[in-house]
Structure 1
């Protein structure tokens, strides 16, 4: 991969991540709420789990020659690019989820937001894959434009939104040092949800089952993803959600 492409993508995401950090700090100062800042911090911590997600979903990142790797897990590269990427993905979707949660009919709007975030994920992934940042190296079913597993785009959007809803729910109830338990939320929700919902299709892809069986298990994983998201949405009161103290 050309070094320029990798550096441009990393720099662009870093600038976007800084914008979300500034936004979170402004909310802390003006509204006395640390909810947005905890979301950013959780995403930053969660980035360390990316290689586990990549190993389970058959993704490989390709850093530019000479760029450092944070560590390697089962042959998968944890690269600096991932840290601003996690902040941007989780903050953009999470901050929007916080707003929707405080609106009228938040449950219905959260499903619409899932559709919008899934579409945004597809666009973002297409750009990054076209740039050669990473690739899916196994034959996933239901690929968008023959490249991106549709199930994973929906799953990632659902994971980001579910993280925001659970984090918001706990943020309003935890106090003092208890809020440190919010830090592993992004990575924990993403990996736990993946194990719960995606094991059928991951198993099918890993052992190279026939395409018909793989497609059926892919549909089952999609159903489990939507069912899991439905449970989280039901935890959301159909009234305004207060951000609570910092």
Structure 2
């Protein structure tokens, strides 16, 4: 399998323009708000790209090694355009979702945002698969045009998780601790793989197609439940901690800690 040069050049150029637009927007936001959070999350999208080789092994995805590679690991090459895609999806779009939460987006609006994220994911993947820039190999359940739809849930969950962490832990990411934002996309995307493990585990076996499909369905259902839970947390419908009661706020601090 060899890399189609024209397709690689086109997608690299398109994603470079999109990344540049996000960087400009982040710099403008920094100047207006005084916070580099947007830019740091974009850098985090780049850091997140170092997950790709691992998830390619788990999910049976392969990129030809003769392309313009950003790095190689575990015997897998990760093209520069894939690194740029991470900056867009797990950096830029994740921060856009965080902004939506911060501005009071409803649960329904966020589900529409997740659907939009999925559509953009498909619009990126299908032409690239058709052009033979990469391939999902093996017996992949629920594949459309060579694209396993399980990845829509995996990718959406990872980006959304990052957005929720950014907005709900904004009190933590202040001062020098803002620099930790560069690790949020990497950590949240990798954490989201826990729910994808039924799919990943069966994909790396010789189990029959029926078992593979059941594992993929399980991972997708778990992922969708987690997405809804994260949206509820992001919108404030669910709290990470119970609201402080009057009794707790006025009692002796040592006594209060005894109840935690």
Q: TM-score, normalised by structure 2?
A: 0.82
C-alpha change, 1:104 and 1:169, in structure 2 (3 Å) is closer
C-alpha change, 1:213 and 1:24, in structure 2 (3 Å) is same
Q: Whole-Å Cα distance in 2 between the matches of residues 52 and 219 of structure 1?
A: 22
Q: Residues 10 and 81 of structure 1 are in contact (CA less than 8 Å); yes or no, is this contact kept in structure 2?
A: yes
Q: CA deviation at 1:40?
A: 0.4
Could you tell which deviates more after superposition, 219-228 or 89-98? 89-98
Moved over 4 A (4+): none
Q: Whole-Å Cα distance in 2 between the matches of residues 219 and 200 of structure 1?
A: 9
Q: Whole-Å Cα distance in 2 between the matches of residues 226 and 69 of structure 1?
A: 31
Alignment of 1:137-148 (within 5 A): 137-145=137-145, 147-148=146-147
C-alpha change, 1:103 and 1:83, in structure 2 (3 Å) is same
Q: Whole-Å Cα distance in 1 between the matches of residues 130 and 196 of structure 2?
A: 25
Instruction: Name structure 1 gaps, 5 residues minimum.
Output: 240-246
Q: Hey, what does 1:36 align to over in structure 2?
A: 38
User: SS where residue 70 of structure 1 aligns?
Assistant: strand
Cα deviation, 1:65-90, whole Å, max 9, x if unaligned, reads 5x3552231x2113322221111222
Q: Residues 203 and 212 of structure 2 are in contact (CA less than 8 Å); yes or no, is this contact kept in structure 1?
A: yes
Q: Whole-Å Cα distance in 2 between the matches of residues 169 and 238 of structure 1?
A: 9
Q: Hey, what does 1:7 align to over in structure 2?
A: 9
Q: Whole-Å Cα distance in 2 between the matches of residues 64 and 4 of structure 1?
A: 14
Q: CA deviation at 1:5?
A: 2.1
Q: CA deviation at 1:142?
A: 0.9
Q: Hey, what does 1:218 align to over in structure 2?
A: 216
Alignment of 1:17-56 (within 5 A): 17-56=19-58
Q: Which has the larger radius of gyration?
A: 2
Q: CA deviation at 1:64?
A: 4.4
Q: CA RMSD in A?
A: 2.0
User: SS where residue 236 of structure 1 aligns?
Assistant: helix
Q: Hey, what does 1:126 align to over in structure 2?
A: 126
Cα deviation, 1:112-132, whole Å, max 9, x if unaligned, reads 211221122111111221222
Q: Hey, what does 2:241 align to over in structure 1?
A: none
Q: CA deviation at 1:103?
A: 4.1
1:201 aligns with 2:203: no
Q: CA deviation at 1:100?
A: 2.4
